Structure 1
Amino acid sequence: MNIFRGIQARLPSGSSGSTTPNSNGSGADDRPPEGSDPDDTSLLDEKQGSIVLSLISQLRIGMDLSKIAFPTFVLEPRSMLERITDFMTHTEILFGLENESDKAVRFERVLQYYMLGWHIRPKGVKKPYNPTIGEIFRCRYTYTNGTEGFYVAEQVSHHPPVSAYFFLSPANKILVVGELRPKSRFLGNSVQTIMDGENRITLLGTDDGEYIISLPNMFARGILFGKLVFELGDTIDAINEKTGMSGSVEFKTKGFFSGTYNVVKGQVQQDRETIGEISGKWSHHLEYKDLKFGKTRVWFDDATTTSEELSRPTCHPEEHQEPNESRRLWSGVTRGIRAGDQNAAQEAKTIVEDNGRKYARTLDEQGATHNSRFFEFRGGKWHAKFVLPENLEEAKSKVQEWIWADTPVKKAT
């Protein structure tokens, strides 16, 4: 049955289809749900609520949302390819681990680095732009120790959507590669995004091989009733086969009658023996307890972490980017959102999406597939088309030549 009709049938007498979910009122109704973070909640005005209601009327339970065009006011003004860079925000946690002899400490720091990628998020319930096939995002990082890191991501498939990414900091001996395959489903009063994919982290100065970490799922609650709330849920697994280290972290979702938001609980195991415990809130405060020595170390606390401690990406100015680079490609949408002009944002979004569909249709008509520029599919995974030099001192120039080939060198912003 159409969900919208079911809701209308239960509305009080005199209510009409113009009733808007999550409409912006006053007083107690404006407060976020008890125990939630105001940054993870959204209130919609009457016009926005009407648009959401119209969108919901098209949905069915379990429907795949990959082909649904969402209104611009629910969008975060950046592409998913750029949002992945949140995981590079705390890369300095990994610096110097090639000199750490204790494999348990190395594993803990890698897991800390990964977990701290989640607290960087937009206010409210927002989703990034869905990248179009062939879209790329390129940036670099400059660290406090005078070194650099280099990142490139590409939308290698559109249906199903797959984002592949690569990060290298040669001087700090860190390599991160991975892929993201989101699948969104409508569940009635919430939307679930299943985050298939994995992060593969390599400490190049060690013999550890890859640290492989999965992803939690995302939920937007209160689509029909109550306030819109963003949550992470389910369990992620981390493993390093060579060292025998493993771990898991459960992102707990709030129960209907009890519990609280953003809580995590996890453990670290060495050769299947639990040696550490993780606790706290992924959004505000995380701790790690070493069970062997009985010591607790704070991984993250938003009350004491300054913005200067966060590594931010820099890109070439939009006018010097290629047409399919994220910031330039979506620039019209971004300007409209930031100016509060949803009509302009929607028009620009339609142009980007129509061009993407035209390209996909051309490929179908020609019986061809998209030729990825930076990645190739091997052994069931996407790998960068970059051969890492044995001499890491050569890697800095080589990786820049690979990422920015034929691109004029301009001042990054």
Structure 2
Amino acid sequence: MVNQRDNDRTAVLTAPLSLDGELQVDYRAPNLLQRILGLLRNVRSGSDLTNFQLPPLFNIPKSQLQCFGESVYSTREDVLRRCCRAESPLERLTSVVAWSISAMRPLIFGVAPYNPILGETHHVSRGNLNVLLEQVSHHPPVSALHATDDREELEVIWCQHPVPRFYGTSVETEVHGKRQLKLLALGETYVMNAPKLLIRFLPVPGVDWVGNVRITCQETGLGAELCYRAPSLIGRNRRSIKGKIIDLSSLKTLYEVDGHWDSTVTAKDVRNGEQKVIYNAAETISGLKTPQVKDSGGVLWSESAVVWSEVSRGILSKDWDKARETKKSIEEEQRELKRERDSRGETWIPKHFTVSCNKENGWDCTPIQKSVPSAPIHVPFD
């Protein structure tokens, strides 16, 4: 839960993670690999790192909640609109595949976003697309996302529960939770999962998305199976993706998908061998614009860019003492608020989502509102 005493701080917004993001980062501390291995020296292999706290030296100046939202609202091309406007079910499924790939952003080795605090929110608009996120659980960490575009009649509902584990020379994060894209005018719902995040320390440091993604649409009977492949020790297959678009009833392959998710991805029609580019990363996730506050009075006290504003200022100015003390203060305040709730026997209830969890289906986050309102923070168009 966010304390309302923090509402005197102003929002600090930074450029989204993008294809050229690593070139723009100049606030990283030196000797990161040595520092990281030092932090993990006493951590056992296989340990869950969910509650592992990083000092600001290893943080980028934004919350994980913001990074999660950026994957939906920060694109140069309107890939979501393309999903709605494609004429045939097969073209729409192909567009959904491209959109799902666009959510995978190149990450920066050695640094990570802040772990969101309970009740933290992030509310941003890009044109008619309004996106609202809320941290609905802290232990375990669960983030919920709801996005709507009333003009295009589309809705996105995501529930994200990352579970990072340490394996000696790497950290592997499984991203649990269902992702849904609903094309309301067509009555179609596309359900998908997320790949894993792999952070390697040795022999060559790096960050990659790896693993299998399955996309299904029961209404059209079409689906896709994608595999994000880990690079070899000599760097081959870096950021590569292979897969297929299939007829779910017959399991017949209709298109073969191949390429690199940080450059171009193609789909080849197996009937005639014709090939087309379905995703171009340079056109979609490069040169992304930083969100801007359009209505300072409408920014919630729980907004990520407000909650972490002083920590972000410390990181951006490389004032590590300020960043460390401010971050420590926020974390200690959250622990105190939890103790107060526990003493009163209270259970935290999210403001914007109804949340449930069971062993079979995991976490499920249902938006309380039918439509997300326009936000006080906007992404400018090119």
**Taking structure 1 as the reference length, what is the TM-score of the superposition?**
0.76
1:193-248 deviation line (CA, Å, top 9, x unaligned):
1111121000111022x2011000101101xx444210111101111112111111
State the 1:303 CA deviation.
Answer: 4.8
Indicate if the aligned counterparts of 1:316 and 1:412 stay in contact, CA closer than 8 A: no
Q: 1:267 to 1:313 in 2, by over 3 A?
A: farther
**Taking structure 2 as the reference length, what is the TM-score of the superposition?**
0.82
Where does 1:33-72 land on structure 2 (aligned, <5 Å)?
39=22, 45-46=30-31, 48=32, 51-72=35-56
Amino acid at match of 1:339: S
Indicate if the aligned counterparts of 1:107 and 1:245 stay in contact, CA closer than 8 A: yes
State the 1:265 CA deviation.
Answer: 0.5
Indicate if the aligned counterparts of 1:318 and 1:327 stay in contact, CA closer than 8 A: no
Q: 1:99 to 1:340 in 2, by over 3 A?
A: closer
Amino acid at match of 2:79: I
2:17 alignment counterpart: none
Matched, 1:274 2:253: yes
Give the Cα separation in 1 of the matches to 2:298 and 2:58: 29
Matched, 1:284 2:263: yes
State the 1:58 CA deviation.
Answer: 2.7
Where does 1:75-154 land on structure 2 (aligned, <5 Å)?
75-85=59-69, 86-90=71-75, 92-95=78-81, 97-98=83-84, 100-119=86-105, 121-142=106-127, 148-154=128-134
Q: 1:330 to 1:189 in 2, by over 3 A?
A: same
Amino acid at match of 1:164: A
Deviates more, 1:288-297 or 1:93-102: 93-102
Give the Cα separation in 2 of the matches to 1:38 and 1:314: 18
Amino acid at match of 1:82: Q
2:9 alignment counterpart: none
Give the Cα separation in 2 of the matches to 1:98 and 1:256: 40
Give the Cα separation in 2 of the matches to 1:214 and 1:343: 39
Matched, 1:325 2:303: yes
Deviates more, 1:161-170 or 1:331-340: 331-340
State the 1:262 CA deviation.
Answer: 0.9
Give the Cα separation in 2 of the matches to 1:110 and 1:125: 31
2:191 alignment counterpart: 212
Larger Rg: 1
RMSD: 3.0
State the 1:137 CA deviation.
Answer: 0.6
Give the structure, 1 or 2, with the largest relative contact order (CA under 8 Å, sep 6 or more).
2
Structure 2 segments unaligned to the other structure (5+ residues):
1-19, 358-362
1:30-55 deviation line (CA, Å, top 9, x unaligned):
xxxxxxx9949999734x45543431
Give the Cα separation in 2 of the matches to 1:176 and 1:410: 19
Give the Cα separation in 2 of the matches to 1:410 and 1:215: 27
Give the Cα separation in 2 of the matches to 1:129 and 1:141: 24
Q: Secondary structure at the match of 2:151?
A: helix
1:298 alignment counterpart: 277
Structure 1 vs Structure 2: percent identity of aligned residues? 23
The number of residues matched between the two structures is 350
Give the Cα separation in 2 of the matches to 1:152 and 1:329: 16
Indicate if the aligned counterparts of 1:199 and 1:213 stay in contact, CA closer than 8 A: yes
2:364 alignment counterpart: 381
1:221 alignment counterpart: 200
Give the Cα separation in 1 of the matches to 2:195 and 2:255: 20
Amino acid at match of 1:202: K
1:249 alignment counterpart: 226
1:319-348 deviation line (CA, Å, top 9, x unaligned):
753332100000011111111222221222
Indicate if the aligned counterparts of 2:22 and 2:108 stay in contact, CA closer than 8 A: yes
1:370 alignment counterpart: 348
Give the Cα separation in 1 of the matches to 2:324 and 2:246: 49
Give the Cα separation in 2 of the matches to 1:357 and 1:260: 44
Indicate if the aligned counterparts of 2:102 and 2:285 stay in contact, CA closer than 8 A: no
Q: 1:344 to 1:155 in 2, by over 3 A?
A: same
Q: Secondary structure at the match of 2:310?
A: helix
Q: Secondary structure at the match of 1:95?
A: helix
Give the Cα separation in 2 of the matches to 1:171 and 1:312: 24
Structure 1 segments unaligned to the other structure (5+ residues):
1-36, 143-147, 389-398
Q: Secondary structure at the match of 1:247?
A: strand
Give the Cα separation in 2 of the matches to 1:215 and 1:334: 28
Matched, 1:180 2:165: no
Amino acid at match of 2:56: T
1:347 alignment counterpart: 325
Matched, 1:197 2:193: no
Indicate if the aligned counterparts of 1:96 and 1:172 stay in contact, CA closer than 8 A: no
State the 1:112 CA deviation.
Answer: 0.8
Indicate if the aligned counterparts of 1:38 and 1:124 stay in contact, CA closer than 8 A: no
Q: Secondary structure at the match of 1:111?
A: helix
